[in-house]
Amino acid sequence: MERLERLSLADVTRAEFAHTTTYLNTATCGVLPRRAVAAVRDLAEAAGAGRPEGFGSWEAVASAREAFGRLTGVPAGRVAVASAVSTLVGLISASLPAGAEVLLPEGEFASVINPFALRPDLRPRYAPLEGLADAVRPETALVALSAVQSADGRIADLDAVRRAATAHGARMLVDATQAVGWLPFEAGRYDYTVTGGYKWLLGMRGVAYLTVTEEAQESLLPLHAGWVAAESIWEATYGPMPALAADARRFDECPAFVAFHAAAVSLALLESVGVAAVHAHNTALAARYRDGLAALGHVPVAADGSAIVSVPGLGDRQAALGAAGVVTADRAGALRAAFHLYNTVDDVDRLLGALAS
């Protein structure tokens, strides 16, 4: 699939998004652009008609893999594709030796915590996000955390955690689900990263990405390897595979094609705008919202520079806002708003106006 020509954010918003609500909930799920909706419809219609193209396109999977690699600064050979973040974290958890200590932030998203916490022979340990780097110690085998916290938008000091992990010989896993697509992110700086594709990447459920450095690759067991994990997939459909893929593709799951058809065109759209432009747009809207909240006497969680803004004590306003066509989220009693490329100043002001009333 060819990459799109460079487009302005305003042109993309006008041409590609048709949502009828004031949608401020990308941290839960993103809005599909028109071209992704069309790609899903085309595949479904082909499948319903019994045409071979309804089986799904491996080219779409390859395009999504390559585009994700470009967005995160790693070659496509360092990217594996899967269906869910928890599956990929589970793979990393299952590959750790018995007794390994895993350091995690307090209140981290469940998909990062549970695969470690539910394995009885591991030793999960928790520390405040802001003190995570200081909590790394010689017996720590792995530090696992989100680049941006789902609940409140706090941005982790990944550089500090990385320095501490390196100093103590620990590996590092970063969940970039709430980062990639709006926040510049270099996946190759970390042993492993996992990213869900249905939020800021404008896709749908059924797509997730794993990146693994060449050095860390042999630390993972390809426990769910099917025929798509083989070096030559069409020679591995029956019997034991002759050879695993030499690169990160050995960790691939068989793709949910309908989700990857959407992902391929959505990622191309993001590339056409550029993460830098999206970052500037999203953070400007979030800053406007924070200023408006201050004028109303509300104090959000301190997360400057984040596209996610969470206001403790206002979670009970979420239902009424939704009934008025303003879509947000209630997380642990806090009202969470998330700003992405399809949002506008008018969306911010509409939310502030609704809160003021």
Chain segment 238-294, per-residue pLDDT in tens: 999 999 999 999 999 999 999 999 999 999 999 999 999 999 999 999 999 999 999
Tell whether the model's pLDDT for residue 51 goes beyond 50. Answer: yes
**What is the model's pLDDT at position 1?**
39
Q: At a CB cut-off of 8 Å and minimum separation 6, what does 319 contact? A: 330
The whole-angstrom separation of Cα 357 and Cα 148 is 31
pTM of the predicted model as reported, rounded to 2 decimal places: 0.96
Q: In the predicted model, what is the mean pLDDT of residues 3-31?
A: 89
Q: Which CATH class is domain 9-31+274-356?
A: alpha beta
What's the pLDDT band for 5 if we cut at 50, 70, 90? Answer: low
- Domain 53-271 class? alpha beta
- Counting beta carbons within 10 angstroms of the beta carbon of residue 72, is it exposed (0 to 12), middle (13 to 18) or buried (19 or more)? buried
At 134, the amino acid letter reads: D
Spell out the residues 6+ positions from residue 50 whose beta carbon is closer than 8 angstroms to its own: none
Domains of the chain, residue spans: 9-31+274-356, 53-271
Judge whether 9-31+274-356 and 53-271 match in fold.
Answer: no
Q: Which two tokens stand for residue 131?
A: 């003190």
Report the pLDDT value the prediction gives residue 41, as an integer from 0 to 100.
98
Residue 4 has pLDDT above 60, yes or no: no
Kindly report, residue by residue over 189-224, the tens digit of the pLDDT: 999 999 999 999 999 999 999 999 999 999 999 999
pLDDT in tens, 58-79: 999 999 999 999 999 999 999 9
Please give the sequence-ordered ranges of beta strands (E in DSSP) within the chain, or none if there are none: 22-23, 79-82, 101-105, 123-127, 140-146, 171-175, 192-196, 208-212, 308-312, 326-327, 329-331, 334-338
